[in-house]
Amino acid sequence: MAQKSSDERSVLSPVSVQTPRHNAGNLTGHPRKVKDLAADFHNCIMKWEILNSKGMEIVTKIANIKIEKVYAQEGEDEEKLSNLPQELNPLCESLAEIIESMAVLESKLSYKAKNAEALVALEQFHPDGNNSPPLLFLTMTLKDVSRVTKEIHSDFCKELQLKRTLLCKVAHAASREESEALAACWLHQPYIRPQCYDLVQALLKETGHVK
């Protein structure tokens, strides 16, 4: 099976850190923490996308081996078809390692999202006397940042669960069509919504990482 073209979703590009528009070169307090948080989210997701591409290469190799050595064996009994080629073992192990690396990134996103939530609680515990929460940079309050980071993490958490399911199924797909469907599912990451990447870009723009 030929490898499918890369997803057309709006994948993030590398960014260089720039000074925010409010001219805060040496940020402190909540603005500094939120600026760092935005960079951390961006970096984690960039690493996730690299891992997803590597995983796609492995999933494609697994599907090609099954097409060549399993599905092509017409007339064989079911028991023989269920015996997996030995070369699938190291590929499945490599795919499992990639998923565990993804799990580390998902854990970091969870930790950072909880940090944003803690900043909101701290702000509420020490109000500044205003009726409305202050803006951090341009348009977002701490509550906005917390909401955005929760949404982003939620998508990647769901996608990680799907990846684990795909790992269990990809080597045992019963037909060529099932193998292709599993590969497409890995590639397109259905639980990571396109707007998730828009939210990350919004964080980067809010904190001055990109113009």
How does pLDDT run across 120-170, given as a tens digit for each residue?
888 776 655 555 556 767 788 999 999 999 999 999 999 999 999 999 999
| 67 domain residue, yes or no | yes
- Domain assignment present for residue 8? The answer is no
Asked if residue 189 is part of any domain, the answer here is yes
Q: How confident is the model at residue 36 (pLDDT cuts 50, 70, 90)?
A: very high
Residue 14, pLDDT score:
46
Q: What is the pTM of this model?
A: 0.81
Of 62, 63, 65, nearest in space to 93 by CA: 62
* Residue 39: predicted pLDDT: 95
45: domain CATH number is 1.20.120
Report the domain count for the chain: 1
Residue 14 domain-assigned (yes or no): no
Note down the domain range covering 164.
29-71+86-125+134-206
Q: Environment class of residue 129 by beta-carbon count within 10 Å: exposed (0-12), middle (13-18) or buried (19+)? A: exposed
pLDDT top residue among 178 and 9: 178
Residue 62: pLDDT band by 50, 70, 90 thresholds? very high
Cα atoms found within 13 Å of the Cα of residue 129, Cβ hemisphere only: 0
DSSP string, 139-185: S--HHHHHHHHHHHHHHHHHHHHHHHHHHHHHTT-SSHHHHHHHHHH
State yes or no: pLDDT of 5 exceeds 60. no
In a domain, 4, yes or no: no
pLDDT value of position 68: 86
Is 22 within a domain? no
Within a domain: 1:
no
% of the chain exceeding 70 in pLDDT: 75
Q: What's the pLDDT score for residue 46?
A: 97
Region 102-117: mean pLDDT is 97
| pLDDT tens digits, one per residue of 184-208 | 999 999 999 999 999 999 999 989 8
Q: What is the C-alpha to C-alpha distance for residues 167 and 8, in angstroms, rounded to an integer?
A: 23
Task: Quote the Cα angle for 123-208-203, to 5°.
Answer: 60
Report if residue 102 sits inside a domain: yes
> How far is residue 186 from each of residues 79, 157, 189, measured CA to CA in Å?
28, 14, 6
